[in-house]
Structure 1
């Protein structure tokens, strides 16, 4: 059974993801997006509670986004899978690959259908947005957190 600290950390991460996504709504949803909250998808490298936290945060953000069940369930499950795979990666550079690739390939599939856009173009837009959020924001965020000790509990077994 997970400790209360683990659940609280997961809830904080979920809340951060949801709030960042929703308050940056103009750039967080649709076939062309830079979901800044995706920078948090590298947290599973240093905090195990980030895996369920990101899933719940994405679920809530997508529920608020208004794109329907495809985004609520599909996007959230893609985030869960990406977070889990990221948690197994040895460093932030390799850890950035699962969220970038899975979102570019998976989220683009249903967004291309919802918006009537060609899949390849949608995948390129989503992939670029993920690269900006995860690669250019998330990787420096992980190094900053590690350097400053912002997250004090690095025990991935808690």
Structure 2
């Protein structure tokens, strides 16, 4: 791995991690709770420009979720978010890179990955922290994992879709007109597979 590749990965990781921690500070549970609207996910569109965004976004997610262990007091249960949340981000970014020829479809990668993976462990994490009901509902986490998963699937998926389509796609279109794509490409052909932008 070249120094320039490592620098791009580190830059993307730092950007995503800082943006996520900013969301935590000013949006509280909306960045981590059962109803998620993590605005920093819009940065996943960087995977439309470079494959270096895949490890960069995953690392940034791991750092931010690791910091939340300390800031949010999640303890060792927070490691679920570090491992599986980062895996969801990596899978979503990989799908975006593979489908970069079709940005409007590619942004579904993070929506589907987060929508399917995060709700699988979030009820365990929230129950361990003493949150036994879903906010704004009477759904109990105790013994109601299937209902919680379905609730999380909808809420996480919708929240991610809102972020990716309302913020991510406009961000992609704005960045596309700057020198940033060429800088991020760093020797990788940034053009979409099978077509032009």
CA distance in structure 2 between the aligned counterparts of 1:15 and 1:133, rounded to whole angstroms: 19
Measured against aligned partners, the alpha-carbon deviations of 1:122-157 in whole angstroms (never above 9, x if no partner) come to 111111110121111111111111112234323436
Does 1:134 pair with 2:164?
A: yes
CA distance in structure 2 between the aligned counterparts of 1:7 and 1:48, rounded to whole angstroms: 12
CA distance in structure 1 between the aligned counterparts of 2:123 and 2:167, rounded to whole angstroms: 26
CA distance in structure 2 between the aligned counterparts of 1:52 and 1:36, rounded to whole angstroms: 19
**Unaligned 5+ residue runs, structure 2?**
127-140, 142-146, 191-197
In the alignment, what sits opposite 1:109?
120
Q: Based on CA coordinates, which of the two structures has the bigger radius of gyration?
A: 2
In the alignment, what sits opposite 1:91?
102
CA distance in structure 1 between the aligned counterparts of 2:188 and 2:151, rounded to whole angstroms: 38
On the 8 A contact 1:104/1:123 being kept in 2, the answer is yes
Measured against aligned partners, the alpha-carbon deviations of 1:52-111 in whole angstroms (never above 9, x if no partner) come to 100100100110122411101011111111111211002211111110011011101111
Q: Which moved more, 1:54-63 or 1:114-123?
A: 114-123
In the alignment, what sits opposite 1:147?
177
Query: TM-score, structure 2 length as denominator?
Result: 0.74
CA distance in structure 1 between the aligned counterparts of 2:35 and 2:68, rounded to whole angstroms: 14
Measured against aligned partners, the alpha-carbon deviations of 1:31-62 in whole angstroms (never above 9, x if no partner) come to 11211111111211112211110010010011
Report how many aligned residue pairs link the two structures. Answer: 157
**Unaligned 5+ residue runs, structure 1?**
none
On the 8 A contact 1:45/1:91 being kept in 2, the answer is no
CA distance in structure 1 between the aligned counterparts of 2:111 and 2:123, rounded to whole angstroms: 17
- Considering only aligned residues, what root-mean-square deviation do their CA atoms show, in Å? 1.7
User: Counterparts of 1:18-97 in structure 2 under 5 Å?
Assistant: 18-25=17-24, 26=28, 27-66=30-69, 67=74, 68-89=78-99, 90-97=101-108
